[in-house]
Amino acid sequence: MLQLQEISYETGGRVLVDAVTLHADTGETVGLVGPNGSGKTTLLRCVYGTLRPSSGHVLVDGTELTGAKERARRIATVPQDGQSAFELTVREVVAMGRSPHKRFWEPDTAADERLVTEALARVGVLDLAERAFPGLSGGERQRALVARALVQQPRLLVLDEPTNHLDIRYQLDILTLVRGLGTTNLLALHDLNLAAYFCDRLYVLQRGAVVAAGPPAQVLTPGLLAEVYGVRADVGVHPATGAPTVTYLPGPGAGPDVPRPTGERKSSTI
Amino acid sequence: MRRGSKSEARRGGKSEVRRGYLLVIVSLTAALAVAAVAGLALGPVRIAPAEVVRILTGGAEPSPLRTIVLDVRLPRVLLGAVIGAGLAVIGTVLQALVRNPLADPFLLGVSSGASAGAVAVIVLGIGAGAAMSVTIPAAAFAGAMASLALVYVLARGRGGAMTGARLVLAGVAVAYILSALTSLLLVTSADANHIQEVLYWTLGGLGSARWDMLALPAAALLAGTLLLLALARPLDLLLAGEEGATVLGLDTGRFRAAVFVLTSLLTGAAVAYSGAIGFVGLMVPHAARMIVGASHRRLLPVAALGGAVFLVAADLAARTAAAPQDIPVGVLTALTGGPFFLWLLHRGRSAEGVAA
């Protein structure tokens, strides 16, 4: 479904994404994990088109996308930057998702409005439809934007940290929702436990390159966490969920780059 | 916390929203008709509204009253309506384009270019006398186009992508330079007559309205307004932000550049005939947004009608308030518009309450 072939992105002499090759099959939820600055966001931007990769190809269903509009018909995302000061209603914001399928002067039809209503209901914000979008809470807003992505009727849903700034309940809600949509999903996630539970496969990025890939149980190992994140961790299988569960262990013995506290104060020079 | 019951009550259900919108359009159209008839009836010679309607419908034989209504006042009322609607629509569009609620038709340097052009003609006395009514608008338009080209090139930069922030910076910089040039021209000319004339022109007025010069601005502004109405969908997308608009399939750089050129041409056409009439393009869009929301398909027609009503009424006041003195209408729009705007803001804030 989605294939990234040797995607690289360079700016100002720095390589932010380094020859990433990745694929997602139809209906699969693929997670992208890695520490801050590992290139997750940059890579996703290359996929949904706000950045142009320096080299490599993004293929959806075997064809390379050209132009913002064609891309928006296949790939939907929930962007990070906020809405403007002007108040649109939630319904108006969600209805924007029909734009990629329209000529610019075409009005929305009854069928479009039905799609919007369905999407609002599916993410559970139908009762907020006529409210002003900027007045929503973070969780409600995120849901509305997922509804907008649904209205785009994409082949692929790309989400960059969809759980950012959300309460734990909403984090679970939004990921359960995304999982249940039946779309192919590519998610960047911060929380390894959520990633392990909700994703079919994970790609681990470090300094812009993929260092591990596979099902969560294979990828999330104490050795990898020490190497990539520089932390000591224990990985077990949770009895209730059956998913790998990471427990971070404080104290010494973390990664190779982390200096150990020596326990002595070198105060003799003062 | 209950879920913003106030704002739900204000916006109502979907069908209620639609009925409310129709009511707004009908009321504004009625207001425009009333303002136009008043504009034709009032002045140094008072004419009964019934007589005005009879003259307009062609039921009157040639008479001095007929001449006053049809040849003196009607072109002025029409020019006011067209320019008011145009400025309000341009202001609405530019506020979305640069995502800044303080944007107005004159933010991006067009009016400064027009002023520089007009002042150059006035001061240098090109085509003095009867031809001035042709050369001043022509020079103003040329000045507007020069500033457009300059801002366009500067805002594109080396990267080629035109963002809202670049556009504002380039526009404001060009505006300052051109205003400085205008001041320099004025100061060095040192002719009191010129200063009077320039002052009147820069404050903006509809006093030059005549049938033979109405066609051009009217056609340009009508066509441009209709075109901008057709762009309601991509304009809405701009409200989702740079990234939001891109992922919804809009080529923001190209769209912004195209709309900037279109609005600048329209501003140039408006300013060339009426000078820089301020405040209409800043205030009317906000008032319209407070009434019908920010979605451009609903907003632009309301802004256009509102701008027309406002400028026709303001010009009527400008002609009659201190008669026989003709106050520049730009002074009146600011004088009446400012307090109205503040009142709307105050009212808007208390009505938003929880939701804001």
Q: How confident is the model over A176-210, as pLDDT tens digits?
A: 989 988 899 999 998 999 999 999 999 999 999 99
| Architecture of the domain defined by B5-355 | Orthogonal Bundle (1.10)
What pTM, to 2 d.p., does this model score? 0.85
3-state SS, residue B295: coil
Domain around A144: 84-152
Q: CA of A267 to nearest chain B CA: how many angstroms apart?
A: 52
Tokens of B130: 């009867």
pLDDT at A191: 92
Residue A42, pLDDT above cutoff 90: yes
Identify the closest residue of chain A to B14 by CA–CA distance: A130
- Output the CA angle B278-B356-B284, nearest 5 degrees: 20
How far is CA B23 from its chain centroid?
24
Substitution target in B248, B252, B291, B354 with the highest count of A β-carbons within 10 Å is B248
Q: CB under 8 Å to A101, separation ≥6 — which residues? A: A73, A152, A153
**pLDDT tens sequence across A120-177:** 998 889 999 999 898 888 888 888 999 999 999 999 999 998 888 778 888 898 899 8
In the block, residue with structure tokens 């301020």: B278
* Biggest distance spanned by C-alpha atoms of chain B: 70
- H/E element holding B296? helix B296-320
B99 in reach of chain A (CB within 8 A): yes
A170-179, B3-12, B168-177 — which is least confidently predicted?
B3-12
Beta-bridge mates of residue A185: A29, A157
Is B248–A104 a contact, with Cβ atoms under 8 angstroms apart?
no
**Tokens 């404080």, located at residue:** A250
Q: Which among A12-21, A102-111, A234-243, B131-140 has the top mean pLDDT?
A: A12-21
Band of pLDDT at residue A261, cut at 50, 70 and 90: very low
Q: How far apart are CA B283 and CA B302, in angstroms?
A: 13
pLDDT tens, position by position, B117-168:
888 888 877 666 656 667 888 888 889 888 888 888 888 876 667 778 888 8
Q: Which residues contact B193 (CB under 8 A, 6 or more apart)?
A: none
Taking only residues 234 to 273 of chain B, the set having a beta carbon closer than 8 angstroms to any beta carbon of chain A reads 234, 236-237, 239-244, 246-251
Pairwise CA distance, residues B80 & B86, whole Å: 10
* % of chain B surpassing 70 pLDDT: 88
A103 lies in some domain: yes
A146 inside domain:
yes
Identity at B241, one-letter amino acid code: G
Counting the structural domains of chain A, the total is: 1
Q: What does the domain layout of chain B look like in residue ranges?
A: 5-355
Q: What is the pLDDT of residue A4?
A: 94
Answer whether residue B350 shows pLDDT above 90.
no
Q: Which residue of chain A is at minimal alpha-carbon distance from B295?
A: A88
